[in-house]
Structure 1
Amino acid sequence: MKPDRERERWRNRWRVMGKGRERENNIKRDRENKIERKREKKKKKKKKKKEKKKEKKKMKKKNKKKKKKKTSKAFLDTVSIAISQKLASNVESRLVSYRYCHRQSTQALKSKPKKTRPVKRDVHFPAFPPQQFPVVVVLKAWKKNKRIVERWEKLEEEEEEPEEEEEECEKVMGENEEEKGRERKEKEIERKKKREIEREREEDEYVFIGSNI
């Protein structure tokens, strides 16, 4: 074999080997690229899910706030109606239990009320039907503001006996003023005594210092 032919054969072999290596490298790159693409897709899906959850939470909070505002306005309206009609003093005797009224109100709002089991009543049924007057809301407001009944009772007592209370207040005020005058006089006497004692101490110190000199 001539040396030129051998060289050509070796060159061809190296070319084939180089092409094979390039193919293997390309296959590895393709596999790595596929894996990276899958990872990116998974990350994007996770981000979308998190964003959707955050949006749902925000919407729920907004809906809750809106519902609370509506109920608070209804409470104020019904309480004002009860006070104007002077029902606050007799709320406890006329209202139905909270559970019964709540069931009744939920059924009235729906177009087709579902069948529910009868509930025990803690208080006897009112004289007026609950459809004419919103009993549930008044009861809720009454539970939150239990002082309404006490205020009405106090106002009625004040209207009946205003003169006696004024006389008692005048007597108490006179006694308080006399006690305050006595206390002031006693405090002034104590202050004078303290001042005299301080002056005597200052004079004694001055004499003592002069004798040392």
Structure 2
Amino acid sequence: MSVPPALEAAWATFAAQEVPPVVGAVAWTNLCTRYGEAHRHYHTYQHLIDLLDLAAARPWRDAGRVQAVIWWHDVIYDPWQRDNEARSAAEAAAALQSWGWPAERRQWVETVIRATARHEPLTGDPDELAFLDMDLAVLARPAEAYDAYAAAIRREYRHVPGSLYRRGRRQVLEAFLQRPHIYFTARARAEWEDAARANLARELNQ
């Protein structure tokens, strides 16, 4: 899978502002390799592009740290394992330390990536809440696009027998529906909450 030019351009902009040139090239190669892995069908280059596009349309306290979360939050994605978020967070922290980022800034990135394991905030920071919302924006897509997302997730877990997958998927969907709100910010609730709930309920009834 070739790297989309839009993604390469986005990295160049981020790297020019946040990354020392030599280590930036190493990081970019690593990210391209990871997000281009053959077993990925949703957690791909396109997922990064979608998040970067959403991020570009939002105000941030620190846009650079949010972009770091976007780039690294799924860098480790092994559907056979349960610690992807923790491993992604650790890899992000190591990279940011090598770039000379201050401890507080890189620790924030690490914590927010860990928060994606349950999609529950760990800092309460507005940037974290908005990122977690963006990462679930896919739930509110039009029905056809949502179905394509759900099918892509199933392909990533094709090693799981159908009955077990359906049970696990049902638990995930029901957990979101049982929340008072799927999204944490007023903007995301206004834009996505109703559509997301409709999609989740529809999938549960299939």
Instruction: Judging by fraction of residues, say which structure has more helix.
Output: 1
Q: TM-score, normalised by structure 1?
A: 0.19
